[in-house]
Amino acid sequence: AAGDGPPPAAEVRVFPPVPLDGWPKELAKLQVSGTDLDDPEPPPAPDLTGPVLWLSPQVEMSAGKAMAQAGHGAQLAWWELDDAARTAWRAAGFPLAVRTASAERWDELTTSGLPVVRDAGFTEIAPGSCTVVADHPALRRP
């Protein structure tokens, strides 16, 4: 029946930021465009026992921009984790979910002390816009 089994999965590979003329050949030939598709149904609620990258409900982003911001969020979470939490996340295969936060939840998240991605404003959105909050169980305040 529809909805049975695990949800579809995707993989993300993150490269550190580099000047345009220093891009690895794998990146130089890639372009993300034409991927703004409507979801036929809302995604399931994320498993809050694992990391969740919360997208801003207040900032309109293309699919490519949202992917880049999610990658930045994953990096920020990694940098904030201690060695034990990094080891555990790696051993689990780096699971994470990406969801758009509700407006109410977004206000809580951006003041929670969790890592926040703030855009530099070079492309689609205004400088300083909060685009993603990286919510990892090991980073949550009690």
In this prediction, residues 118-129 reach a mean pLDDT of: 85
C-alpha closest to that of 114 among 140, 137, 96, 138: 140
Predicted local distance difference test score (pLDDT) of residue 32: 59
> Among 37-51, 88-102, 123-137, whose mean pLDDT is lowest?
37-51
State the Rg of the chain over Cα: 16
Locate the DSSP E strands across 1-142: 52-55, 97-100, 116-118, 130-135
Residue of 53 and 2 predicted with greater confidence: 53
**Average pLDDT taken over every residue of the chain:** 85
Q: Domain residues of the chain, as ranges?
A: 47-139
pLDDT tens string 80-102: 999 999 999 999 999 999 999 99
pTM of the model: 0.75
Q: Which CATH superfamily does the domain covering 47-139 fall into? A: Bit1 (3.40.1490.10)
Asked whether residue 2 carries a pLDDT value surpassing 70, the answer given is: no
